[in-house]
Amino acid sequence: MSREKQFHEALYGLRYNYPNSVTTWGHCCTEGCPNGARGSGKCGTCFENEMAEIIGDEVTAMNIHEAIKDQSRAIAEALELAEELDFEQSEGVG
């Protein structure tokens, strides 16, 4: 498999670990890893490490991981704001 394809698979796995809805969590499937992971698959840190190995750059892999976490937090915040506005409208506040 090409490194590009491996990279995209690792990127997908990393993104998968930062959902913005209810999901199931369990232990990371990587032996010896203490982290939790969505659906008991690989955790974000393990995907970050895999990505670093694929591209040969730990800093870039870490930056990608941080950007995905930031994006997930921003989406969660936006969803919370939308939910608050929906609640205010339903209560006749807004």
Nearest CA to 10 among 50, 38, 43? 50
Yes or no: say if 49 and 61 are a contact pair by the CB < 8 Å rule.
yes
Question: How many beta carbons lie within 10 A of that of residue 78, not counting itself?
Answer: 11
Note the pTM of the prediction, 2 decimals. 0.86
Kindly report the average pLDDT of the chain as a whole number. 94
pLDDT of 21 reads 85
**In this predicted structure, what is the pLDDT of residue 48?**
98
What pLDDT is attached to residue 68? 97
For the chain, which residues score pLDDT lower than 50?
none
Number of domains the chain contains? 1
According to DSSP, residue 41 is labeled: S
The predicted pLDDT at position 20 comes to 87
Could you list the residue range(s) of the whole structural domain that residue 35 is in? 3-91
Beta strands in the chain (DSSP E): 25-27, 36-38
